[in-house]
Amino acid sequence: MKNVVALILAGGQGTRLGVLTEKIAKPAVQFGGKYRLIDFTLSNCVNSGIYKIGVLTQYKPHLLNQHIGIGKPWDLDRKDGGVTILQPYYTEKKGVWYNGTADAVYRNIEFVDDYNPEYVVILSGDHIYSMDYNELLDYHKAKSALATVACMEVPLSEASRFGIMVTDLENRIIEFQEKPKQPKSTLASLGIYVFQWSFIREVLIEDAKNDQSSHDFGKDIIPKIIQTERVFAFPFDGYWKDVGTIYSYWESNLELTRPIPPFNIHDENWRIYTHSKEMPPAYIADSTKVKNSLISEGCEIYGAVSNSVLAQGVEIGKGSVVKNSVIMSNVRIGENCYIENAIIAENVVIGDFVKIGVGEFAESKLNKKVYNSEITVIGMDSIIESKVEIGKNCVVGIDKIVNKNLNSGEYI
């Protein structure tokens, strides 16, 4: 689509993912054994024919920048368009970080202007879904809209986590609440917007002058522009997930291990592209038992694995058991270990006779809001020494060396 520019918001820290985003931006977190979160939005763009893309980064972008590179895996290494990393920058007057999602787009108006598009698509870089943005744009045009917001129904108990909208019979948005304590509906914004560029450009310039604004699409821009009566909701009934919490991230990964997963990563007509290392085929030894699991290239399995996702280069020693867990790339697990309900981040080394996820559940002593399930999380580049036992709902930070037992709910 020649008259469309996509901007992907990828600067968020993702604090609810706790230690998983302590060292990297949320869109760079691994998912599904082979991908990083931003791969799904980038793939949606190119599968929809959008090849002019800006990725707005801010929080610890090094790994994300390295992953995207010049965009070759997504066929975005091209002279006309392609992908551009847009980081905060200094000006003659001041140098500041992006101050809200709308401010991030405002500060890149010149980038969009260079393409002189008719439409701009604003997307989040940390959601799991497949969407043909052509359908969204066709809907936007059919409604003669100035703005269109993709949405879906969510359970009332979860509505307060989202931007909630009230619509009329024509799907015109007549009220918008950002993460309300008392939601007036269950129709939730997916953080996917289409705007007429000439319209939203002026709105952003005006908003930037307002010291009272938080410069956020959900809090400021959408509630303001619905007064034009030309802002519509686009109903989406496919799979969409905000893997913004430890539990939802773990659950979404393990959903992929089902015989018929709710999210299809095997669709030949809608491929998910990524930048991954070239590694040899996975090796599964004669004495192993592997069931309902995703095993990526370069893995060496000598133990038992069930209902788990293993990323590239994972080694599991003889006699070890891994259940209901997400193991990221280059993790080495020694012999005779037992690991259940765990998320183990990249490059972790685990000795022999280690147990993780054992005992009774206990509340987190680190952060009850972030760590509130039986899932134990091990941060990147940590070492768990042999014979250590770690309970449920525990947290090991990045670059830690653990040489003592941790009871459930404890952290280091």
| Strand stretches in 197-335, DSSP E | 231-235, 240-242, 283-284, 289-291, 294-295, 300-301, 304-306, 309-310, 315-316, 321-323, 326-327, 332-333
Single-letter code of the amino acid located at 144: S
Report the C-alpha gap between 321 and 86 in whole angstroms.
Answer: 43
The residue behind tokens 């977190």 is: 29
On average, the pLDDT of the chain sits at 95
Report the C-alpha gap between 249 and 241 in whole angstroms.
Answer: 9
pTM exceeding 0.85: yes
Band of the pLDDT at 1, cuts 50, 70, 90?
low
Mean pLDDT of 82-100: 81
Mean pLDDT of 203-214: 95
pLDDT digit string, tens, across residues 19-62 = 999 999 999 999 999 999 999 999 999 999 999 999 999 888 88
Report the C-alpha gap between 4 and 44 in whole angstroms.
Answer: 14
**Residue-level pLDDT at 384:** 98
DSSP one-letter code for 87: -
C-alpha distance from residue 206 to each of 105, 106, 210, 306 (Å): 13, 10, 7, 55
pLDDT digit string, tens, across residues 159-184 = 998 999 999 999 999 999 999 999 99
